[in-house]
Structure 1
Amino acid sequence: MSQLAASLAQAPEACGATGVPSSGRSAPALRAEMLRIGGFHGNMHAIAAHAMAQLRAIGFRLPLGLYRTDSLIGAVLMFGLDPAAHGWEPRRIVVNPEATWDVPGLADLTIKNITGQFKRRFRQAQGDLENRAAREHLAVRSLPIHLMPKTVRELVLSWIETHPDQARQLYMQNPLCLHAARKMRAPQDWSAAEHAPELLYGAEGTTKAAAAG
């Protein structure tokens, strides 16, 4: 994290900084893509203090149940926290190729890893739905970030209901997305979305937990 802090210190106008993945077959392609177009991938990232203060002041909270928290936070930062006032600017996030992480044993052919890969496929299908819905909110409609729905269920299902043709096309491309949409309609307790954010650790202003909710 010290390298990410140094990246932010060298780019005070940036809203965030991120490392790059080094484990997995897709890591080289992901690194190259991040260095080319920016964005967050994974949770090894940092939000600048000035951006964190703005997120709190605006009242932004991640929808409860979201899988791809990294991509949504990255998108919010690259829109300068206000899609109506600012265009998409990758330079608002500093990508540090020297800051990286690894997951030992992830490539091993074990029952645990095989099972984990299947579970990731299902979660990634939900993530595809999330990305479409978040893009509609931020890039297409340019809505304020504090008006993001409180739950991932509301976020995704409202997009499906207003864009059924796009949803069907996505189901055809990846049938697991249809499974994810059906699962999202199942009864679930979403009352935690009404709870106020809490500071989980650290001193005031040093953690993103309060904004994440």
Structure 2
Amino acid sequence: MGCGASIPAVLAPQQPPTGAYLFGTATGGGEATFTLPEYEKSKPGSVLPLSLDGQTIAQIDGRSLMKDYGRASTAEMMAHLTPVKGADGKLVALVQPIPLIRPSQTACFQCSSNILSTVPRVEGLTPVLEHDGVALYPWATVSPMMSWMSQYSTDIRLATPGGFERFATIGFVSSCGNTQTYGGVLKLADGAVVAKFSRAKGVTSYTAATGVDVGLFVAAHVASVKIMRDSINPA
């Protein structure tokens, strides 16, 4: 992986942080690998199936803001919603741009993201948005971080009745001073790497350890790419 840190071959098991999962899916009985057509290169209006063992478990809307640098307005960027639907076509989650949260250096980016769900992650949460007639609950926030213009990562915080608590980061591979979006890891706040992704031949593969909320991982990765590509001044 060039000059950056390598992606580990073995993932640390994660105890489920909640009794509910974003897509109703977590890994069990060992590592599992899910595949998704590459979000970054998807076409407007396309639907991207998230698959496990050849079976679709969710569908993610493709990119609708295929902007040339500097041509999208802030209003267009903030309106770029990404619905996530179950295998049955019903809405299960939504990736929503929000004003920038600043956990670290974020000067190159113009937004963070909410991940919202049709079911509450934990008891005590109340709906914060309605989309297509469906009430949505807060699930997580995803916020950009950057160090030395090459180490791009996003900070993930989980919704609680009292606010949001830091949970994990998605770190993208860095190669010789340049951020690469072809691979990376999901790392818990304690440093344990519980999931990883890599991209090849137009497909992103997500591998997660036992107990990982796969929906959160995939949605947070999609949100991370959206933040990078939709920002008016992208990195």
Fold shared per TM-score above 0.5: no
Q: TM-score, normalised on structure 2?
A: 0.23
Indicate the structure (1 or 2) with the bigger Cα radius of gyration: 1
Higher helix share: 1
